[in-house]
Every structure is written in C-alpha cells, then in structure tokens.
C-alpha cells in the first residue's frame, strides 16, 4: 500500500521503504520556511523615525543655506567659523535621543503588556498594534472555547442514542487525550459498561483513512468491529450506502448550518458486514465574552474577520452567534483561481466577514491583499504553517499553546486564550503610543525652535548668539 508523507512528519513506529520525490523548497515544509525567510517588513515606527529625521535635516539645510547666503552678501564673515557653525547646527538638528527615548517608552510598555498576558517579541510591534485597524482571528480556541460538547445524535432506524455513543466510545482511546475521543467517552451514561468489552486491535485516526477502527470482543464471546470518522468515509463502508446516503447527507448539512461538526459511526453485524449506525454531532461553543469583545474591538476601530479551517456552513453559524456578518468566503477559491487572476478576488477579500476551509498558505494571501489596500493587519495563528502569515502581518499574534515556530515568527505571544487579551493589548498600546507621540512632537518643536532662533539672531543681529558647544548642549538636554 502506498502513502504520501511530508517533510517534517514524525514516524512513531513501524517500518517502510520510501522514495524521496522532493527536497528543500520543493516540499510543503520547505516552502513554508522559504516564505518566512523571504518576508521582510519595515515597521511603521522605523519609517516614522526616519521621516522625522529627514524632515528636521531638510529644515536645517534650508536655514543653513539662508545663513550662508546672508553671510556671503554681507561680505563680512569668517569662513572657518561659518562652516563650523553650520556643521554643528546640522548635527543639532538630528534628534539623536529620540530613538532611544521611544525605545525606552516601548520597553516599559512591553513590561505592562506582559502583565496583561501579552508578551512582546518585537518592540516596534507596540506601535503597530496601536494603529492596527483590522484583525484576522482564528475561530478555534480564540473565538470559541476549544472544548467540544456532544449534541443530539442522528441514528438509523432501530438504533438508540446510547448504542451509537457506546459504539463510538469503543472506537476511541482515552490514553490518546484526543479532544473528540475525550468528549465521546465523557458522554457515556455508564462508563463501567466498557469493562464488558476488550479491544483486541485498535487503528488510530490518520489523515489518509480519516477514521479509527477497533476489533472488539465482549465478555459474552461476541466479536465485532466498530469505527468512527468522517461521515463520507464511514458511509463508504456500508453496503446499503446508496439507500441511506441522501438522508445522511441532509442531516450532516443541517448539523453544519447549526455550527456542528459531524462524525459518522458504524459497526459490523454477526455476518461481519458493516452497518451504518448514525452521525454524532460535536459543537465547539463560542466563548462567553467573545461577542462583547468583538463589539469592543469595533468601537476601537478594529473590525474582526474570522479565519477557520472548518466548513463554510459551520463558520457562518459561528459568525452568527458571535455577531459577525454572514459573508463567509470559501478559501478554496484562492487555490482554484489561477495566479494571474487572483487580483480579481481582492474586493471579495475586503468585503468578507470571514473565511472558511482555510489552509495556512491562504492566510498569507489574505494578509498580503489587505496590506496592499492600506490596512494595518493583525493575524493570529498557532501552527508551523501559520509562521509566514504571522511574519507577513503588521502584527503577528501567536495564540496560547502555539508552536515554537509560530512564536518565533510572531510579534506578540499570548499566554491566555481568547480575544479579550488582544483588545486589552490594543487599549494599552494606544496609551503608550500617545506618550510617544507627545514626546515626538515636543522634540520636533524644540529642535525647530533652536534652529529658527539661531537663524533669526544671525540674520538680524549679524552675530552668532550661541557657541557651537552651547547648541550641542541644548540639543542633548532637550
């Protein structure tokens, strides 16, 4: 049997012969690393400091030109003294202390943000966070609790809810600490009934088969198999698939519209034939504070776009419960559209309230489009493949429990789950930015004051009111 594995995968057990058909940037893992390496961003803080410095130097240049012209026309000047004075005036116009003062202000701010469970890994991101005007947020764990609960199951005729839950529990393993398995085992009314059965062989879930399977023997001597997994995969096991497929798919769609995930369950009968038992519904409820937090973010001028790998119907229902819009874009359109036509989707991305069935590489494209339309974008993520999007975003936010790769690429690392931490961080960063703005305005006006006063004194009094050392001291003390 042939399987395809990807670079970065971990083989836990067994033996296999492998043929390498891609290395380096020809692998998914390599492409992710390449995207991270190629992504270079210059912060708005750096741009602002350079712009301010250039502005003051231009002002100084103009005033120095006026001074030199005035001295030349008067024909009474000391060339060496004039050049020395102009040079010192130029040096004094450069805000030498400003980057240091602003960095200290941001360092103090980073310490305050850490107290709010938001660790800053790049100081200039505080300024970016204060100006952020759009946030792309994960659904699972950030907008929702990431705690699955079991809804009412859909069962085939003659099958009770207890039977389908027991069958799915036998196809689960407590030791794996899998969220779905844990939810199913917790739903058993009488957990002790599992002692009547013994698992002879267990096949764990994998992305290829998309299901688990267990060989079971009971204390009464009965043997059978049970399986749970993707509904379509479980349906394929049943010999009467054509007869029940329409009703099962209809029920799955109903679950999706209600925001539930569907899980198919089957077991073998006495003849060893698979019998489809029904569908379990799993729901990850929104956080109690998510809707209020989203409203607070909007009041701060930061609308939220939901980004999830779940089905579009599930995303729409979650968006409805959270008070977001219903314009959820299926991200597969990004993968199906030729690269030359991707620009046509920009308006769709701008107008969307969220994105469903998103792959990590889709996040990078979404961020890129939004930034090209002059948005300061925040992006949350937790996986290795989220790293390019986190680094590309103006504010990359690694959520609680993120991988080391995501944390390394992010500007801010959250220590607690939920969106409220981000909103608190935005409020605090804006306070910090106000302090930085106040100092910057003061520094600009103080520098211009020195330049203008000195220039006017030279023009009107025909003398140098300050020595070179006095000007340097004034610049430093201010």
CA 287 to chain centre: 18
φ, ψ for residue 330, nearest 5 deg: -80, 115
Instruction: Report in angstroms the alpha-carbon separations of 217 from 45, 193, 220, 267.
Output: 66, 13, 8, 13
User: How far is Cα 174 from Cα 182, in angstroms, rounded to an integer?
Assistant: 6
Is the torsion defined by CA of 128, 129, 133, 136 positive or negative?
positive
**Active-site residue (options: 78, 138, 152, 176):** 138
The yes-or-no answer on residue 162 being catalytic is no
The angle subtended at Cα 17 by Cα 14 and Cα 20, nearest 5°, is 125
92, 450 Cβ separation under 8 angstroms: yes
Query: Comparing C-alpha atoms, which of 149, 189, 146, 162 is closest to residue 265?
Result: 162
Name 120's Cβ contacts closer than 8 Å, sequence gap at least 6: 109, 110, 113, 114, 126, 411, 412
Listed in sequence order, the residues at least 6 apart from 85 whose beta carbon sits closer than 8 Å to its beta carbon are 67, 464, 468
Q: Using CB atoms within 10 A of its CB, is residue 461 exposed (0-12), middle (13-18) or buried (19+)? A: exposed
Long-range residue pairs from 346-352, CB within 8 A, at least 24 positions apart, any chain: 346/372, 346/373, 351/327, 352/305, 352/327, 352/328
CA–CA–CA angle 397, 398, 401 (5° rounding): 155
Strand order in the sheet with 395-398: 118-120, 412-414, 395-398, 377-381, 134-138, 304-307, 354-356, 328-330
Active-site amino acid positions: 138
């Amino acid at each position: 049997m042939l399987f395809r594995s990807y670079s970065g995968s971990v083989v836990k057990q067994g033996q296999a012969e492998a043929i390498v058909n891609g290395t380096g940037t020809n692998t998914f893992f390599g492409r992710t690393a390449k995207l991270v390496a190629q992504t270079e961003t210059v912060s708005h803080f750096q741009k602002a400091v350079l712009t301010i410095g250039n502005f003051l130097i231009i002002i100084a240049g103009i005033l120095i030109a006026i001074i030199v012209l005035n001295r030349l026309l008067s024909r009474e000047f000391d060339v060496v003294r004039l050049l020395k004075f102009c040079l010192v005036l130029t040096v004094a116009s450069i805000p030498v202390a400003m980057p240091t003062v602003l960095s200290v202000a941001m360092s103090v701010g980073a310490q305050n943000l850490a107290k709010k469970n938001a660790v800053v890994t790049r100081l200039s991101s505080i300024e970016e966070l204060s100006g952020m005007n759009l946030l792309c947020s994960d659904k699972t764990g950030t907008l929702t609790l990431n705690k699955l609960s079991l809804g009412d199951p859909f069962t085939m005729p003659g099958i009770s809810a207890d039977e389908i839950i027991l069958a799915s529990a036998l196809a689960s393993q407590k030791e794996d600490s899998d969220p779905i398995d844990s939810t199913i085992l917790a739903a058993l009314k009488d957990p002790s009934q599992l002692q009547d059965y013994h698992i002879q062989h267990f096949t764990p879930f994998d992305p290829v088969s998309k299901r688990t399977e267990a060989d079971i023997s009971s204390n009464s001597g009965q043997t059978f198999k049970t399986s749970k997994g993707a509904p379509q995969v479980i349906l394929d096991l049943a010999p009467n698939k054509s007869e029940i497929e329409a009703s099962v798919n209809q029920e799955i769609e109903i679950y999706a519209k209600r925001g539930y995930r569907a899980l198919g369950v089957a077991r073998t009968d006495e003849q060893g034939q698979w019998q489809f038992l029904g569908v379990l519904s799993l729901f990850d409820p929104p956080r109690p504070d998510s809707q209020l937090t989203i409203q607070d973010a909007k009041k701060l001028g930061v609308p939220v776009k939901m980004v999830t790998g779940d089905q579009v119907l599930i995303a729409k229902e979650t968006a409805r419960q959270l008070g977001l819009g219903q314009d959820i874009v299926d991200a597969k359109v990004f993968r199906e559209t030729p690269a030359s036509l991707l620009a046509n989707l920009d308006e769709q991305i701008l107008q969307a309230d969220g994105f469903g069935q998103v792959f990590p590489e889709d996040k990078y494209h979404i961020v890129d489009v939004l930034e090209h339309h002059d948005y300061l974008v925040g992006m949350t993520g937790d996986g290795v493949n989220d790293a390019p999007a986190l680094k590309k975003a103006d504010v990359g936010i690694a959520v609680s429990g993120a991988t080391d790769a995501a944390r390394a690429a992010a500007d801010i690392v959250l220590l607690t789950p939920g969106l409220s931490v981000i909103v608190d961080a935005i409020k605090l960063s804006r306070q910090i930015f106000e302090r930085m703005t106040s100092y910057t305005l003061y520094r600009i006006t103080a520098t211009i004051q020195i330049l203008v006063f000195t220039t006017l004194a030279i023009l009107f009094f025909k003398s140098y009111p300050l020595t070179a050392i006095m000007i340097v001291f004034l610049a430093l003390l201010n």
